[in-house]
């Protein structure tokens, strides 16, 4: 993503302490992505609702990835990061809402950190 979001991104302890990439991703979904979604979904604030919806979108994508055989997970995460980076650049380059740029920036930076510490 970019340095602004990289500095803001902090992984949950369960994610950092996980034994494998799959376990780390599962912990990220449970302890970050779904937590943000749940915290935002019922608020009377459209910005936060949409911010939470993007976290749910990525939680579902990661769940799909972690259901794959272990040897395919890192490759699929790399593909997702490419998609997230492209989406982030579009959101940054045109007049897109802040919730979109912010949620993609944070989720992408957290996934980058997971990949740096848990894959290969």
The two three-digit tokens of residue 69, written as one number: 């055989």
DSSP 43: S
Vertex 12, ends 101 and 14: CA angle to 5°? Answer: 140
Work out the mean pLDDT of the chain and round it to a whole number: 93
Give the pLDDT band (50/70/90) at residue 96. Answer: confident
pLDDT of 41 higher than 90:
yes
pTM (2 decimals)?
0.93
Closest CA to 5 of 82, 118, 89: 89
**Phi, psi of 78, rounded to the nearest 5 degrees:** -60, -40
């Amino acid at each position: 993503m970019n340095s602004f979001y990289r500095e803001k991104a902090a992984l949950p302890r369960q994610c950092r302490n996980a034994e494998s990439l799959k376990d780390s991703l599962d912990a990220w979904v449970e302890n970050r992505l779904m937590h943000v979604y749940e915290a935002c979904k019922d608020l009377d604030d459209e910005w936060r609702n949409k911010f939470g919806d993007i976290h749910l979108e990525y939680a579902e994508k990661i769940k799909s990835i972690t259901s794959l055989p272990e040897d395919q997970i890192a490759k699929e995460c790399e593909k997702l990061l490419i998609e997230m980076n492209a989406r982030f650049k579009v959101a940054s380059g045109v007049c897109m809402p802040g919730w979109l740029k912010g949620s993609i920036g944070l989720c992408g930076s957290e996934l980058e950190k997971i990949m740096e510490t848990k894959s290969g």
